Structure 1
Amino acid sequence: MEKALLRKHYAYSKIDEEDPEEIKHRQAQFLIQKILLQADNRRKPSFLRIRMCKLKVRIGRRLRKLRKSMLLGISVARVRLYKQVISRMKTWRRLFHRGRGEPLVSLAPIFA
């Protein structure tokens, strides 16, 4: 009788060997429950957060478009300036060196 009193009602006996399939099944059930709990605890995105995300995307697209147009404009301006400089140089070359190297306008040396 004393042994019965010493024994606790929540004591359990250890199982010598467990079935490997049962162990795998238990682990799978545990992981499934864990993932389901995590999915339940996740916050749903608020309306404001969704709006902000969409706004960021729109701003990013506009900035990208602006940058591309600026680069195109700069490259076009560079080409135009290059063409102008080349045409002016050709004009000056023709003005000062006619045909075989004789200048059209001869400039007298300043210090003679």
Structure 2
Amino acid sequence: MGILRRSNGYSKVDKEDPKELIHRRAQFLIYKVMEQAECRRKTSFIRIRLCRLKVKIGRRLKKLRKSVLVSISAARIGVYKQVMNQLKTWRRLFNRGSHHGTIATLPRPLFT
């Protein structure tokens, strides 16, 4: 067959100047470091926002828990006071009946 085979399918490029090669490698490394720093900033920014959001939610939950506890204790105190007042009223009614024989006693007239 009439195909010529070469050892390399492309022509060899002249060797680069060593200074240019070092310069290009340095630029590549700088680019890589800057890219990594940029990625880190993005993730840390997201992490900071998430932390702030968690703190905000935590504070709101704490406030809500405190307000619920205060309202429950206030309701307990209110119910307790009502029950005690009712018991006092019943005691007065029942104690009067047992001592005097009647449920209610009439006041004595001042002038007779």
Q: In the alignment, which residue of structure 2 is the partner of 1:71?
A: 46
Kindly state the Cα deviation for residue 95 of structure 1 after the two structures are TM-superposed: 2.0
Q: In the alignment, which residue of structure 2 is the partner of 1:50?
A: 25
Asked if 1:40 corresponds to 2:5, the answer is no
Higher helix share: 2
- Separation in 1, partners of 2:28, 2:13: 23
How many corresponding residue pairs?
Answer: 76
Q: In the alignment, which residue of structure 2 is the partner of 1:10?
A: none
- Separation in 2, partners of 1:54, 1:33: 31
Kindly state the Cα deviation for residue 43 of structure 1 after the two structures are TM-superposed: 5.8
| CA RMSD in angstroms, aligned pairs only | 3.1
Contact persistence 1:98–1:104 (CA under 8 A): yes
Gap regions ≥5 residues in structure 1:
1-19, 106-112
Moved segments of 4+, more than 6 Å: none
Q: In the alignment, which residue of structure 2 is the partner of 1:96?
A: 71
Kindly state the Cα deviation for residue 44 of structure 1 after the two structures are TM-superposed: 6.5
Q: State the structure with more CA Rg.
A: 2
- Counting aligned pairs with the same residue, the percent is 4
Distance 1:88 1:50, change over 3 A: same
Contact persistence 1:95–1:104 (CA under 8 A): no
